[in-house]
Amino acid sequence: MNVLICDDHKIVRDGLRQILSQHENIRLINEAANGGEVLEMLENATYNLLLLDISLPDMSGLDVLQQVKKKWPNTNVLMLSMHPQEQYAIRALKYGASGYLTKDAAAEELMLAVKKIAENGKYISESLADCLALQVNQEENQPTHEKLSEREYEIMIKIAGGKSLKEIGTELFISNKTVSTYRSRVMEKMHLEKNTDLTRYCIENQLI
């Protein structure tokens, strides 16, 4: 198994290298100090596992993750972070990460995560599993409009208030086509078909 470690602190990379070197199935360990180096190295070699820090000097680790999974979908990514799991882990998993570890995790936990990911599994700690279960429960019980992005919600309210796509575009400084795209997303997420349905929903939920 070929592994690429990405962290902007050499002492962290050295520590990770030392731990991973004890894994019998790891043949190659290379290092990158930022997101740009990761993308360049993946262009030139195949890595089975990428250990990726969320906080990088040139771009967000989550942005790097999305680019990696889009271009090299077979590369497993284990996210590393100083931040608590619930702050970034759920987003990282949605973007395609195979696991998430905080940097204060023990060496044994890192080896366990690597082993599980190498077997095409995902590594989720017990505390993260609890967070995921809680979020699923919250999503199931939340109103449909809570699933909209801020811009989608804003446009929904304006449509429900009787404004035309042109008027909304002028107010928000975006094209009519962009407004129309947002309207389509809103209708799809809300499972509605007509503007009148949207207006009725907003009135019933006291949004307007």
Q: What Å distances lie between residue 109 and 99, 103, 104, 105, 106, CA to CA?
A: 12, 11, 10, 6, 5
**pLDDT value at 136 more than 60:** no
Task: Specify the domain boundaries for CATH 3.40.50.2300 within the chain.
Answer: 2-137
Buried b / exposed e over 32-68, threshold 16 CB at 10 Å, is bbbbebbbebbeeeebbbbbbbbebeeeebbebbeeb
**pLDDT value at 86 more than 80:** no
Task: Specify the domain boundaries for CATH 1.10.10.10 within the chain.
Answer: 144-204
Distance CA 55, CA 11 (A): 15
User: Is the pLDDT higher at 20 or at 94?
Assistant: 20
203: exposed, middle or buried (Cβ count in 10 Å: 0-12, 13-18, 19+): exposed
Region 2-137: CATH code: 3.40.50.2300
- Confidence at residue 142, expressed as pLDDT on a 0 to 100 scale: 67
Distance CA 77, CA 92 (A): 10
pTM here is 0.63
Facing residues of 102 across strands? 81
Dump pLDDT digits (tens) for 101-127.
Answer: 888 888 999 999 999 998 888 888 776
Dump pLDDT digits (tens) for 46-77.
Answer: 999 999 999 898 888 989 999 999 999 999 99
Q: Work out the average pLDDT over 178-191.
A: 93
Region 144-204: CATH code: 1.10.10.10
Instruction: Give the list of residues 6+ apart from residue 70 with CB closer than 8 angstroms, or none.
Output: none
- Confidence at residue 84, expressed as pLDDT on a 0 to 100 scale: 63
- Confidence at residue 145, expressed as pLDDT on a 0 to 100 scale: 87
**pLDDT value at 9 more than 80:** yes
Q: What Å distances lie between residue 10 and 5, 37, 49, 58, CA to CA?
A: 10, 14, 19, 16
